[in-house]
Structure 1
Amino acid sequence: MKTRTFYLVIGILVGMLISSTFALANNPIKLIVNGQSIQCDVPPQEINGRVMVPARFLAEALGASVSWDAASNSIVVTSNTMSNPSNTSSTTQSQFSLLKDLQPVVKINGEIYNYNSDIWWFDNSNNYYSGIGAIASLISIGYKDYKIEPSNNPFIKGNLTANGGNYVKFEQKYLSINDTYYEGCFYNKDKSLSYPISTKPGEEKGATIYQGRTMVPLKTVFYTLNMEYTTEIDNQNKLFIINFN
């Protein structure tokens, strides 16, 4: 399957994505969405007096998806209800479904490993969510910062112990004697990029509180930290696979 890079004119995007803010600078031109620097494989370019931006990176940073419809020769942007990639609190609870009967695993170089997983949920647009610890572990695995222990299961290559604490920092704060909330960030390896989270009522960003749990969107975190992964469902073996190949 060919990978296509699509461009949209900034003026059109500003009209379509009202809640987004953009900052552009020369040499090179940077793309900043809601205060977060977005890393593109093809940077924004000035062509014939207009600044052109790869649509996929912008759309995915805003929680949308981009696909190519060859039949109609069209770029299709599908928007989720989350208008701000660092503020997912607008996702309603009715949109979440539990990822049932599937064991979360990671695949590295074609081999399956267990890891420190958690409950996974997905929304109406098949975006996956899990807890802070599980996301931090996956960031660590993405940077190959883990130890491998042997597995008794002949179909599992090993058990990964990830150093997720190296890529996350959170602080518990108090609203009253009994009411608390959390603020913090996920970091990339050199801490040049961060994904902020706050669960303070009325000021939530970066996560959604669902059934008393802090749910973090995997895709938005990884794109913010400029990390790559894919997901797949293996129904035959009942696996939810996060692929770092």
Structure 2
Amino acid sequence: MAQQRTENGRRRLPPEIRTTQILDAALAEFSERGFASTRIDDIAARAGLSKGGVYTHFRSKDAVLEALLGLLLNASVLDERALTAGEVTVERVIDLLAGELYTWCTREPFVATFRLLMAESVRLPGLVEQWREQAESAYVIAVGKMVRKGVMQGHLRPGAATKNPLLLIAPITQMCVRRAIRSEPLSRRELTSHRAAYRQLLRELLEPRCAPDCVNASYGAK
């Protein structure tokens, strides 16, 4: 099938691809210039489009920002059904939190959008609360279901962390904040060291100190 082209000879791409190009360009421009100093022309130039091409997909610069933050708010690597399937062991929780989720939340696109959220929180005060409700709460709920099952199976030690799973996720949020407020990126060595310490912390918080029957009895008694 021949590619569709616009009147000026440009290849016509599907709307979802153009939208992604615009959002990628906007994130780069917002990160370099700041939201207030970025113009639609700047986003269009970086995306290889005309200003009208951007307006075809977004009615304003604010709409572009909202779409970018929407990706942060709605992005999730957690499948609740998969998290609670089978045996929930300490290693499985560590692999999720210090592995998959940690990697996702410390990737540069996520951190750049998180930085943008922080920078624009005064101008758009509802965004931080929206992120807390939609993203952070979703992680807490999903991880909470997982660790509760692990406790009932006798694989995890009951305690403050399993009853308040936000405590288990807090080191990831702390690393996101550290990366967002630093002018220079963290080195690979720093990230590796922090991840290793996080894995050890999770192990110390979650490993049972007695037999499975003892864990189940103590959890049920509280």
| Structure with the larger RCO, 1 or 2 (CA within 8 Å, 6+ apart) | 2
User: What is the TM-score with the length of structure 1 in the denominator?
Assistant: 0.20
Higher Cα Rg: structure 1 or 2? 2
User: What is the TM-score with the length of structure 2 in the denominator?
Assistant: 0.21
Could you say which structure has the higher strand fraction?
1
